[in-house]
Copies of this chain bind each other. A is one copy, B any other.
Amino acid sequence: MTRSDKRDTQPSRDVAVIVGGGPGISASCARLFTDSGMRVGIAARDPDKPVLQNLEKTHGVRRYACDASEPAAVELLFQSVVRDLGAPTLVIHNIDGRMLGIFRKGITEADPSMALETLRNSAFSAFLVGQQAARLMRENEPKANGAKGTIIFTNASAALKGFPLSGAFAMACQAKAGLAQSMARELMPEGIHVANVPIDAAIGWTQEDGTRAHRLAGTSVDDNMADPDYIAEAYLQLHRQHRSTWAFEVVLRPWVEKW
């Protein structure tokens, strides 16, 4: 067997589950993964959002209703995916969890119940999703690249640095990073690749009408935000890495970002 044979060359067997569904990273992942031959399921609290309906039509993506902060709902989601698509080999936890009600509020102004919700929506749902993914992947046969599967946690710059006026979000992002580290140390020696990917940027993209979503005010640069299509590309590269050289953490950041 030559070395090139060791890469992951059977994407058609790949089953990807994206938890958290919207028009940004999730949609880009869904398009790229299906274009690469994977079967793709996407889970969201509201799976009937137009963007998801559209992904079903254009890319055959399967939609699932799931409140990912509920243990039973996450268990059911993975059972449904196995039944419909097969055992997952790539799972993306793509829930940010930030709540507008407390974002940019000082520590003394932030509503405690929203702080707890932020933790549940982001970190705890990551725990639930990671747990179900690990249970199923452990039973997979290793692919040519030596991997039984890949679990990727989308994260934010608050995972790297707790900013003022966002204590609850910092808690949730760093909790998710801590979970990812613990899971990586535990699962990588079993052949499951775990990655934490803080996106240190606003995320922006070109909409169907050619205009830019989330254009930063006052800038003329059109790539000063992270393009979700390239984030999806980075995720696919992580998934395809040979287990001899796995990256655990990749921070993605636009060229003009201050850090």
Contact = CB atoms under 8 A, between A and B. Distances in A.
Contacts of A259: 185
Do most interface residues of chain A lie in helix, strand or loop, or is the interface mixed? helix
A115 B135 contact: no
Nearest to A147: B255
Interface string A110-146: 1011011001100110011011001100100000001
A223 interface: yes
Q: Say which size band chain A's interface belongs to.
A: 35 or more
Given A120-B116, A146-B223, A245-B230, A179 B189 contact: no
Given A227-B244, A245-B254, A179 B188 contact: no
Given A164-B185, A237-B237, A243-B255, A171 B108 contact: no
Nearest to A111: B71
21 contacts: A3-B227, A71-B112, A108-B138, A112-B128, A119-B175, A163-B182, A163-B185, A166-B182, A167-B186, A169-B182, A170-B179, A171-B175, A172-B178, A174-B174, A175-B178, A189-B255, A199-B245, A227-B245, A243-B255, A246-B253, A246-B254
